[in-house]
Amino acid sequence: MKNPNKDIIKKITEFDEDLDDITETVYTSAEQGYRKGLIVGGQQLKPLGVEVNMGVKTKIEELKKIRAANEKYIEGWGENINKQVYDIVWDGIESGKSLNTIMDDIIKATDKSILQAKKEASDIVIDAARKGEIDLYRQAGVGLFRDIAIVDDRTCGVCLGLNGRIYKEGFDERGVINYDNGNFLTDDIAELAAENGLEDWINPEDGAEGPTYHSRCRCKFAPVLTFEQYKNKDAIQTTISEV
């Protein structure tokens, strides 16, 4: 049977269109998230004497990086969901399911997938905002960051354990380093994940340069004024006009 049912084909087509809409929304939202991160970062930098001119456009190369990272993610995401839909169709036909039952299975699967896609899309926006903040701090010459967590009943053991720790720029691709004990942030995350039984949920490498550390993570980095900068605040006063 080459064409199981026009309704099934129509549903698959509608799903593809939904996926395209969400994909474009993710790209747009990620760029907006990055810019919002720049705004928040600028507010955090004011006490350090850093003025950020937000009247210019975000660096094009940074937006390209965000889009490229999301493209790879979304392509695999769409392929997996589409494969799931086609598997439902042909497995249903082979097992003798009625076309109405196959249609119901597709609707359940696609509706669930679209809902999950929207949740994951919001993660991308948050990740982009955090990247915007940290990129801005680095442009301002800030090399120390304090980890800040939102502490409530939803805070995981890893984020709770990292809260308040200070990190500095690392020496290689492994990322930032704990200012007090010299551990890489990835090592701190791995240790806390093991202590809290979250090894299967958190990938330490995802947080090498700072938050976010996992899906739905609300942690962030805040810039830290060094003792030398505190004694001479003029040392860091600058205007960032090309963000």
More confident residue, 215 or 52: 215
Residues 115 and 172 in one domain: no
Task: Say how far apart CA 154 and CA 72 lie, in whole Å.
Answer: 30
Whether 192 is covered by a domain: the verdict is yes
User: Which residues, in sequence order, are CB contacts of 9 under 8 Å at separation 6+?
Assistant: 3
Residues 17 and 78 in one domain: yes
Query: Could you tell me the CA-to-CA distances from 81 to 11, 12, 112 in Å, in that order?
Result: 13, 11, 10
Mean pLDDT of 65-80: 64
Residues 152 and 75 in one domain: no
Around 212, how many Cα atoms within 13 Å sit in the side-chain half-sphere? Answer: 19
Task: Say how far apart CA 99 and CA 76 lie, in whole Å.
Answer: 28
Please give the residue range of the domain that contains residue 215: 144-223
Quick: pLDDT tens for 160-205: 999 999 999 887 778 999 999 999 999 999 999 999 999 888 999 9
Band (pLDDT 50/70/90 cuts) for residue 240 is very low
Residues 47 and 162 in one domain: no
Residue 132 token pair: 């915007």
Task: Say how far apart CA 141 and CA 156 lie, in whole Å.
Answer: 31
More confident residue, 74 or 135: 135
Structural domain count, the chain:
2
> Quick check: 54 pLDDT over 80?
no
Residue 46 token pair: 């004011």
The predicted pLDDT at position 235 comes to 46
> Quick check: 23 pLDDT over 90?
no
Residues 42 and 134 in one domain: yes
Mean pLDDT of 25-49: 78
Mean pLDDT of 198-218: 90
- Among candidate residues 43, 236, 36, the one with its CA nearest the CA of residue 140: 236
Band (pLDDT 50/70/90 cuts) for residue 35 is confident
- Among candidate residues 139, 196, 189, 149, the one with its CA nearest the CA of residue 169: 139
Whether 234 is covered by a domain: the verdict is no
The mean-pLDDT minimum among 127-131, 197-201, 207-211 falls in 127-131
Query: Could you tell me the CA-to-CA distances from 50 to 33, 206, 212 in Å, in that order?
Result: 21, 29, 24
More confident residue, 227 or 50: 50
> Quick check: 88 pLDDT over 60?
yes
- Which residues are 50's β-sheet partners? 238
Mean pLDDT of 98-120: 71
Task: Say how far apart CA 151 and CA 129 lie, in whole Å.
Answer: 20
Residues 47 and 117 in one domain: yes
Model confidence pTM above 0.85: no
The predicted pLDDT at position 143 comes to 83
Residue 173 burial (C-beta neighbours within 10 Å; 0-12, 13-18, 19+) = exposed
